Amino acid sequence: MSVFVLQFTVLIAEDEPLIAMDLTMQVEDLDHQVMGPCKRVADLRRMLCSELPDCAVLDVRLDDGEVFEVADRLAAHNIPFLFHSGHANGWELKSRYPDAVICPKPSSPSNLERHLKMLFEKVEHTQPRTPA
């Protein structure tokens, strides 16, 4: 019996270096690839012009503004995303992005991992995947 593991490309938008490093390590520890991390909306725009991720982890407030235009673009492409923010109202985010996963900051590593796994489940159910 052969077993395969799906590997996703995860876009990380985070302006705090230590949090970005932690997110990167957690995504990689779960055997997925990281795009970024990006700390500016302008960097996200440029990155998304050349490649779309399978999913994304978004801090709401970055160095040069809020990520809602990026969230709108991801949603338009049916790309699941997780908001990981301490500056946003979860209820407002859910009303604007009902399919988004929300993990408020601060968050323990185990809580963040649980939310990342919820995000990866959404990817598996929204995008046709083939084993690598």
What's the full length of the chain, in residues?
132
Q: In this structure, are residues 70 and 41 in contact, taking their beta carbons and an 8 Å threshold? A: yes
SS3 38: strand
Q: In this structure, are residues 11 and 53 in contact, taking their beta carbons and an 8 Å threshold? A: yes
Element holding 36 (H helix, E strand) = strand 33-38
Helices (H), 1-132: 17-29, 41-50, 68-76, 90-96, 109-126
pLDDT value for 130:
41
Question: What are the tens digits of pLDDT across the range 33-59?
Answer: 999 999 999 999 999 999 999 999 999
Q: In this structure, are residues 13 and 36 in contact, taking their beta carbons and an 8 Å threshold? A: yes
**Reported confidence tier of residue 90, pLDDT bands at 50, 70, 90:** confident
**Reported confidence tier of residue 92, pLDDT bands at 50, 70, 90:** very high
